[in-house]
Amino acid sequence: MAFSRITKHPQQLCKTISPINPNSVSIRNLSTDPEDFTGTINYFISIFTKQPFCPDSPELKSLAPMLNPRVVEYVLNSFKSWRIAYSFFNWASNQYGYKHNIYTYNAMASILSHARENAPLRALSSAILNSRCSMTPGALGFFIRCLGSVGLADEANVLFDQVKMMGLCMPNSYSYNCLLEAISRSKCRSTSVILVETRLQEMRNQGWEFDKYTLTPVLQVYCNAGKFNEALGVFNKICDRGWVDEHILSILVLCFSKCSEVDKAFELIEKMEDQNVRLNEKTFCILIHGFVKLSRVDKALQLFDKMQKYGFTPDLALFDVLIGGLCKSNELEKALSLYAQMKLFKILPDVGIFTKLISSFSEEGELTYVLDKIHEDMDLEGLTMLCNSCLNSLVNSGLIDKAHCLLQGMMGKAYGDNVELHKLFQDKKVFAPNTASFAIVIKALVPAGKLDLALSLFQDMAQIGCSRNLVIYNNLIDGLCKSDRLEESYEILREMKESGIEPTQFTHNAMFGCLCRRGDASGALDLVKKMRIHGHEPWIKHYTFLVRKMCKNGKATQACKFLADMVQEGFLPDIIAYSASLSGLIEIQEVDQALKLFRDICARGHCPDVVAYNILISGLFKTQRITEAHTIFEEMVMKGLVPSVVTYNLLIDGWCKSGCIDEALHCLSRMSANEREPNVITYTTLIGGLCNAGRPDDAVMLWTEMRRRGCTPNRVAFMAFIHGLCQCGRPNAALVHLREMEDNEMEPDSFIYVALVSAFLADVKLPLAFEVLKEMVDKGKFPDLLDKNYIIVRDAILKLSKDARTSSSVRSLISNGSIPSITL
């Protein structure tokens, strides 16, 4: 109110003229004394606070001639709402014969800046210029500060220059100080520095002296912009002149803290202490929080002591941040001593502090140590809260059994031979677990595979009269369903409904998933019908699994029917679910059915992806429909889908199988061109194909190439290569790779041994053939009676038994029963 000429608060003024019932005020009662405005003021107030306000009312019209700036200033300051003040202000602006002066503008500006209404404040700033309202340097300063306090630094600068230019005001050093302050509050840090430096130069040129209020915003601006040296320069000037106060000290110290200069900040605080300049309480708090954030709990604690010496009382938030910091740096003892200090201040710790203390223990023993220190003088509810923090902490550290023991102890049950817990419970404190306690432990037990323990806790809840919540029900039902204990989950569901808790989508989907895993299509469908009534959507992943399962059992047709039923129920499967059924149809040779389904899906607006196309391409190749396979591939590319490695692998396999090995190799180069990295399946297919085509040298080269490119052969790759080499009459090379395979601890199938035996026989290397045969026998890889290789082995044995070099060894194998007696 420095530049409001009316020093008496309007509210007080109103009191002195009451009791006047505003509603009974009438224009006839208004005083004719030119200095007595009280009646007019009350009349305006009554009209503008009466709803609805009508600017054209005859009442107001008749009042307009009574307007003058003093009345307006009074009235403005009497309104509680900025909106009403603003509408009165605007109404007054439009009245014939009335003109605002700088004091009414300032009154309005002050109201708007307190309400942080920037838009009307901006408009006010232009209105001052438009009305060519003249003002004193002090009044200008007042308005500038209103703009500055809401961050309108640009507007302040413009106004400042304009009033000077238009000759409305001659700013003095006070006006400049106000402008500097407005700039220092601006968010735009880099321009603030330039602006402040320019204005300082202007002041110098005009011969204005700098004082404390000049330099303080300058210091602020340099601090905000992180200009350390400049800030220190200004601070030293302030110091030299003995102007340092707590506000100035705070600016610099907070700046140090923001720049992580904890030690510098602390030094400064101590230096200023010597000169009797102290921080205020708010700065202490900000610094302590900042120091802890910078992991400087040591200095934070020193500040904490200092602020207490100055007589400030720390609050819960300070204790919280300090205890948190100490726990984080594992200074448990110090944390506990702060905790003890809290009690002296009679500040009640909250869950946050308990949790910090309890989660900080690194060894199990420390937990009960902490508990022991903090559980005295707590009420029952506090103890439960404390224990729940413990339970959470234990569970989060994976100590689920310990959590279970603690919960048992809380219920007054046996909790095993845990010494630490014994210490806790021996002083006969009463503990009472609540719903949350059980929820924490049950939620942890279920995924840990301790479902029955969780179920027995669930029963305990009923016994001690503790209510169950949705999460508990859902977790148990989910656990039971995942263990295929669907029937029990129905029992829990019944209890759930009885206790008034409705199953959610999650509940139903747990059960739906179980039915799907069981392959129970009709059960699943029944449940879906129920879910539809509840508005719950069955999760597609579950019924995709069901479709897969049915297909594996050769029930692809039924799987398709199931999907059709789902559509009937209003749940549309996605392309993945359909793909599962497509591949099922193909497995049972129903390629045409698959093609039809594929077309139907497309017609219904689904966009088949590369995987769906791969399934079809694979099916067509498998049934020798080579041309169609390529047509479908072309269609896929035409649609803009990018062939995957699998697609290329399928094409390569197709070419190999139809004897076009060069086309297959061409595919390999297309892959690299299209940035599709060939994988072990690509190479295996090609290596097999090359051997089949009688090109073992190329196969060997590709094998080397594969390894050179960092693709490690797996068991299938080894077997394809060994088998291929044998086919090409290269059993020696094949044997080398068999050894390598064994070195890599991969077990070949029996057909590999058979291939080697046959190849050695063909090469008339009978002793080597026998060696492999014996190895096969020793490894228990003798082909099954129904295996087509059985005949081959039988013939091989026959040959070996007829040769002088191997016959006796063969006979001894037969006689000791290693080879089943063969009817030769």
Partner DNA sequence: GTAGGGTTAG
Q: What part of residues 225-244 is at the interface with DNA (CB under 7 A)?
A: none
Residue 541 or 802 having the CB closest to DNA: 541
Among 118, 397, 644, 732, indicate the residue that binds DNA (CB under 7 A).
644
Q: How far is the CB of 200 from DNA (least distance, A)?
A: 56
How many binding residues for DNA (CB under 7 A)?
51
- Which positions from 183 to 222 touch DNA by CB under 7 A, shown as an x/- string? ----------------------------------------
Among 66, 129, 294, 610, indicate the residue that binds DNA (CB under 7 A).
610
Among 144, 152, 719, 769, indicate the residue that binds DNA (CB under 7 A).
719
Give the binding range for DNA (CB under 7 A) out of 312-320, 564-572, 603-611, 811-819. Answer: 603-611
Instruction: Please give, one letter per residue, the 3-state secondary structure of 156-195.
Output: HHHHHHHHHHCCCCCCCHHHHHHHHHHHHCCCCHHHHHHH
Applying CB under 7 A, does 390 fall inside the site for DNA? no
Applying CB under 7 A, does 618 fall inside the site for DNA? yes
CA separation for the pair 362, 397 (Å, rounded):
9
Contacts by residues 310-316 (CB-CB < 8 Å, ≥ 24 positions apart): 310/278, 312/281, 312/284, 313/345, 314/345, 314/347, 315/285, 315/347, 316/342, 316/347, 316/348, 316/349, 316/350, 316/353
Q: What part of residues 88-117 is at the interface with DNA (CB under 7 A)?
A: none
Instruction: Please give, one letter per residue, the 3-state secondary structure of 576-615.
Output: HHHHHHHHHHHHCCCHHHHHHHHHHHHHCCCCCCHHHHHH
Residue 244 or 726 having the CB closest to DNA: 726
Residue 257 or 685 having the CB closest to DNA: 685
Residue 239 or 610 having the CB closest to DNA: 610
Q: What is the residue whose two structure tokens read 């509840």?
A: 534
Among 141, 358, 653, 774, indicate the residue that binds DNA (CB under 7 A).
653
Cβ atoms of residues 85 and 53 within 8 Å: no
Name the amino acid, one letter, at 150.
Answer: V
Q: How far is the CB of 392 from DNA (least distance, A)?
A: 10
Applying CB under 7 A, does 590 fall inside the site for DNA? no
Applying CB under 7 A, does 717 fall inside the site for DNA? yes
Q: What part of residues 464-483 is at the interface with DNA (CB under 7 A)?
A: 470-471, 474
In this structure, what is the dihedral angle of CA atoms 558, 564, 570, 572, given to the nearest 10 degrees?
100
Residue 505 or 557 having the CB closest to DNA: 505
What are the b/e assignments for 169-196, b being 16+ CB within 10 Å?
bebbbbbbbbbbbbbbbbeeeeebbebb
Indicate if the alpha-carbon torsion angle 475, 477, 478, 484 is positive or negative.
positive
Applying CB under 7 A, does 355 fall inside the site for DNA? no
Residue 277 or 436 having the CB closest to DNA: 436
Applying CB under 7 A, does 730 fall inside the site for DNA? no
Applying CB under 7 A, does 679 fall inside the site for DNA? yes
Applying CB under 7 A, does 728 fall inside the site for DNA? no
CA atoms within 13 A on the CB side of 391: 26
Applying CB under 7 A, does 575 fall inside the site for DNA? yes
Give the binding range for DNA (CB under 7 A) out of 93-101, 143-151, 594-602, 605-613. Answer: 605-613
313 Cα distance to chain centroid: 37
Among 649, 758, 801, 806, indicate the residue that binds DNA (CB under 7 A).
649
Count Cβ atoms below 10 Å from residue 746 Cβ, excluding itself. 16
Residue 272 or 580 having the CB closest to DNA: 580
The DSSP annotation for 485-535 comes to: -HHHHHHHHHHHHHTTPPP-HHHHHHHHHHHHHHT-HHHHHHHHHHHHHHT
Applying CB under 7 A, does 614 fall inside the site for DNA? yes
Among 506, 571, 729, 733, indicate the residue that binds DNA (CB under 7 A).
506
Residue 425 or 545 having the CB closest to DNA: 545
Measured N-to-C along each axis, helices 766-778 and 807-815 cross at an angle, to the nearest 10 degrees, of 20
Among 541, 599, 639, 709, indicate the residue that binds DNA (CB under 7 A).
541
Applying CB under 7 A, does 544 fall inside the site for DNA? yes
Before 19, cis peptide (omega within 30)? yes
Applying CB under 7 A, does 650 fall inside the site for DNA? yes
Q: How far is the CB of 671 from DNA (least distance, A)?
A: 11
Applying CB under 7 A, does 155 fall inside the site for DNA? no
Contacts by residues 755-758 (CB-CB < 8 Å, ≥ 24 positions apart): 755/722, 755/723, 755/726, 755/727, 756/722, 756/726, 756/731, 757/792, 757/793, 757/796, 758/726, 758/792, 758/796
Indicate if the alpha-carbon torsion angle 812, 818, 823, 824 is positive or negative.
negative
Binding-site ranges for DNA (CB under 7 A): 470-471, 474, 504-507, 539-541, 544-545, 548, 573-577, 579-580, 583, 608-612, 614-615, 618, 644-647, 649-650, 653, 679-682, 684-685, 688, 714-717, 719-720, 723, 749
